[in-house]
Amino acid sequence: MVPPAHDIATLLQRPALQALPAPLRHALADAATAAAARDGMPDAIDILADTLDTLATLGADGEVILAAVLHGLPALQPALAAAAGKQVPGLADLLEGQVAAAQVWALHAEQSRGVNTEGLRRLLLAIVRDLRVVTILLARQLARMRAAGALPEEARQALARLTRDIHAPLANRLGIWQLKWELEDLAFRYLQPQVYKQIATQLDEKRVGRERYIGAVLDALRTALAEHGIHAEVSGRPKHIYSIWRKMQRKQVGFDELYDLRAVRIAVDDVAACYAALGIVHALWVPIPSEFDDYIARPKANDYRSLHTAVVGPEGRTLEVQIRTHEMHAQAELGVAAHWKYKEGKSGGDAFDRKIAWMRRLLDGAAEGTGSEGTLAGELDAELVEDRVYALTPKGEVVDLPRGGTVLDFAYHVHTMVGHRTRGAKVNGRIVPLNHVLRSGDRVEILTSKEPEPRRDWLLQANGFLASGRSRDKVRAWFHKLDRARNLQAGRELLEKELKRLGLHHADLTGAAKKFHADSVDELYIQVALGDVGPHQVGRALHEEQRAVTEPDVSSLPVRRPPRKVATPGKSKFTVQGVGNLLVQLARCCQPVPGEPIAGYLTRVRGVTVHRTDCIAFARLAATSPQRVLPVEWGQAGGGYEVDVQVTAFDRKWLLKDITTLIAQEEANVLDINSQSNRASGRVHLRLRLKVADFGQLSTLLGKLDALPGVEDARRSG
């Protein structure tokens, strides 16, 4: 056994530090000696030494060991930063994760006995970017619990509750039984000292008789296994006080009625030998059928594998027997540490990738449903940790949101009526808009009004108010309760605003209503008002309808050869039917974009000019010279299309910056900007020439521009 560490020199001799590269060990020794001479020894030196011993048992690598040392001795960090940064690239994440975990410990301390332990566990795993941090946290907590007897009673109780609620369940999910059992026993010892002492006394009183009985059982098993040619290691299995108490509570029995106080373990070379040994055990003694579990054929969620059986042993006493391979035993004792190399990103092939995926599923798993020793209750969904966001209420309670969740989603997850009454929000003390996207660890305060008054534009996806389908359903349910007349009027206003913005306000909605299974245009308005159909969807349907049914009349166009489609030279944006080698350009009057119905007009000097089919100028030209009208189709060329957009807004600081930033985020390009301000009204009129990929991008961009603070109107020009 390694002696306790009371000074830097002894600490540096710990076996765990041998995992560090020699240059780093020397640098660590120099920095530690200088820090000890300057600042004296920290009180936590023994805690750190114990932590390092546990990490060595778990097979931790050099990066993990160094991160544990530097967190335990922060005075060494400045001296080692340069040397360690080059040789240990993952050190920063390991240190940051340990600091971030302190947020969870503080939240646990804030909360009452009704603490949401599962939410805190999820938050911990969300803010820890490198999963190796979890093993450091478990090892350090075990060291602190071993030394907790010297703490004041209040501090000892708080440490034990934290261990019971967070650390022991994590060790259980990782399958690290060495740590799990001891963490649970130590927490139980300080939280319920009388019960702990009573069970410990009863175990000690019966120890001599139990050891004699187990000795006779082991001799009988070794003889029987050897006779059948099975090489095995047979040993007694230690019982843990917390697990004994849990079983007494679950089965509602007394100490003397527990049969598995007498337990043995058989370790063999392979799986076939496991089942052979099981047959020998059942041949020696009568099995109890209800107490047999095959965790080899059906492993537990944390990959635990073993055969469990109970028999009526010598003297008619019940006896528990576990049978497993040596590999399974290593897995059961060390869990993830038995097979995981601790470092994400190292090349290990498909098998390693599968282990990482399994690891993440494991960490996000629920406590086992049958016979679990864990303290976490309830079933979790199948989503991985990194697909969720864990935000905090002002009281420190954890709210679980989907990735991309906003403050408005947060409000609806707290309570439906809180969402309906939301009028503003603060994140970490700062006022933010309702579509502000949250990050794990954000503390959110919702500002509400007296009366519920949700807004219909919360349902528009382009506005980004709600990322959760559950939240949108709650808003829809509110508007479903309103009377038909109000929904009809609201839907008409929403749709007309969108169509006007897209230049489609004169379109006939009858066909679009049928496409969305609405009996009439009024029913379509109601669907829009309730969020069942988005205004953007209606706009796209109108474009598709016009493209399908609105074709220019070219019957009077002379045809001298069979019609054929000829692409214009190079990377053409258009295909013109019946002619080739013509200059083709967009009409400046209407500036069509891909996806819109178009037609060509053959000019005298500029080739073919492409118009939208509903362009007023095109209609006038076609009426005058119908023979010059040509069918035109969109081609496959890339590079985007130019379009003019006009924005009317209240002039404010950073308005132009917000607009251009949004355009860049939507991956559109600004070609030109002109502004005209009106000091009397405080408004500014902006005309932007943009390059967009297609109609869909234009529609989404207009919607988001319209939702910017201070913007009154954003629409397409021409």
Is the sign of the CA dihedral 353, 355, 356, 362 positive or negative?
A: positive
- pLDDT average, residue stretch 207-219: 80
pLDDT confidence tier of residue 324, bands split at 50, 70 and 90? very high
Q: Are 601 and 589 in contact (CB under 8 A)?
A: no
pLDDT of residue 575: 59
Output the CA angle 511-507-609, nearest 5 degrees: 115
Which burial class, exposed, middle or buried, applies to 517 when counting CB atoms under 10 A from its CB (0-12, 13-18, 19+)? exposed
Asked if 122 and 388 touch (Cβ cutoff 8 Å), the reply is: yes
| Burial annotation 113-128 (CB, 10 A radius, 16+ → b, else e) | eebbbbbbbbbbbbbb
Summarize the confidence of residues 117-123 as an average pLDDT: 69
Can you give the pLDDT at residue 288? Answer: 84
Q: What tens digit of pLDDT does each residue of 407-423 get?
A: 999 999 999 999 999 99
Residue 384 is predicted with a pLDDT of: 30
**Distance of alpha carbon 34 from alpha carbon 391, whole angstroms:** 42
- How far from 225 is each of 262, 297, 429, 704, CA to CA, in Å? 20, 22, 69, 75
Residues 315, 378 contacting (CB under 8 angstroms): no
Question: Above 70 in pLDDT, residue 171?
Answer: yes
**Residues counted in the chain:** 718
Which residues lie closer than 8 Å to 619 by C-beta, 6 or more apart?
A: none
Evaluate if residue 234 carries a pLDDT over 80: yes
CA distance readout (Å), 644 to 148, 501, 687:
71, 12, 7
Higher per-residue confidence, 506 vs 718: 506
Distance CA 658, CA 190 (A): 57
Q: Cite the DSSP H helix spans in 40-152.
A: 45-57, 62-72, 77-87, 91-110, 117-127, 132-146
Mean pLDDT in residue range 532-538: 75
- State the DSSP H helix or E strand holding residue 334, giving kind and residue range, or none if neither: helix 326-334
Q: What is the pLDDT of residues 556-571, one digit of tens each?
A: 444 444 344 433 333 4
Q: Is the pLDDT of residue 375 over 60?
A: no
Per residue in 235-255, pLDDT (tens digit) is 887 667 887 787 777 767 776
* pLDDT-wise least confident of 108-117, 271-280, 382-391, 539-548: 382-391
Residue 636 is predicted with a pLDDT of 53
SS (H, E, C) 175-205: CCHHHHHHHHHHHHHHHCHHHHHHHHHHHHH
- Tokens representing residue 277 in the block: 């040994």
Higher pLDDT, 403 or 577: 403
Ranges 60-74, 367-381, 649-663: which has the least confidence: 367-381
**pLDDT for 225:** 92
Question: pLDDT above 90 covers what percent of the chain?
Answer: 9
277 band by pLDDT with thresholds 50, 70 and 90: very high
Q: Is the pLDDT of residue 79 over 80?
A: no
- Confidence label for 630 from pLDDT (cuts 50, 70 and 90): confident
pLDDT band at 425 (very low <50, low <70, confident <90, very high): very high
- Rounded average pLDDT over 677-685: 84
Residues 287-303 have a mean pLDDT of 81
pLDDT of residue 436: 92
Element (H, E) at 493: helix 484-501
Of the ranges 108-122, 279-293, 553-567, the best mean pLDDT one: 279-293
Residue 323 has pLDDT above 90, yes or no: yes
Alpha-carbon 263 to chain mean position: 42
* Pair 615, 663: CB distance under 8 Å: no
- Average pLDDT, stretch 490-510? 75
pTM: 0.49
The β-bridge partners of 643 are: 690
With CA atoms as reference, report the closest residue to 603 among 629, 578, 569, 570.
629
Beta carbons of 97 and 129 less than 8 angstroms apart: yes
The per-residue pLDDT for range 573-582, each reduced to its tens digit, is 555 554 444 5
Q: What is the average pLDDT value for the chain, to the nearest integer?
A: 75
Q: How far apart are the first and last CA of the chain?
A: 84
What are 28-68's pLDDT values in tens digits? 777 766 665 555 445 567 888 888 888 888 777 778 888 88
| pLDDT above 80: residue 346 | no
